[in-house]
Amino acid sequence: MIDRRTVNEDRVELTFRLPFDHPAGPVGVAGDFNGWEITPLVDGDGTLQLTVVVAAGRRYQFRYRTSDGRWFNDEGADDYEANEFGGMNCVVDLTAN
């Protein structure tokens, strides 16, 4: 699940949130908002989550990665786009906000 909160007309806060136990073990998120560096989700009120502030009016691609190297997508993504590895990336679309 991805929550959005407008910070101001130029910035949006995105919170990536997964159930604490699914998938089991540490999970990170990587996307074009963080240079595709895997950033760990942290425990927050029974979920794993990470909040980032990004520029408004853009589309952002991302994926989750488990500690054993498995990539997976968010079923709550706005869209999906093919990636160079033959899979699909999730998209958060902020162009309508």
Parse the chain into domains and list their residue ranges: 2-93
Cβ pair 33, 41 in contact under 8 A: no
The whole-model pTM stands at 0.90
Neighbouring CB atoms inside 10 A of 60's CB total 21
pLDDT score, position 97 = 52
Architecture of the domain made up of 2-93: Sandwich (2.60)
Q: Could you tell me which of 25, 93, 95 has the C-alpha nearest to residue 64? A: 25
Mean pLDDT by 10 residues, the chain (97 residues): 94 93 84 96 89 96 94 95 95 87
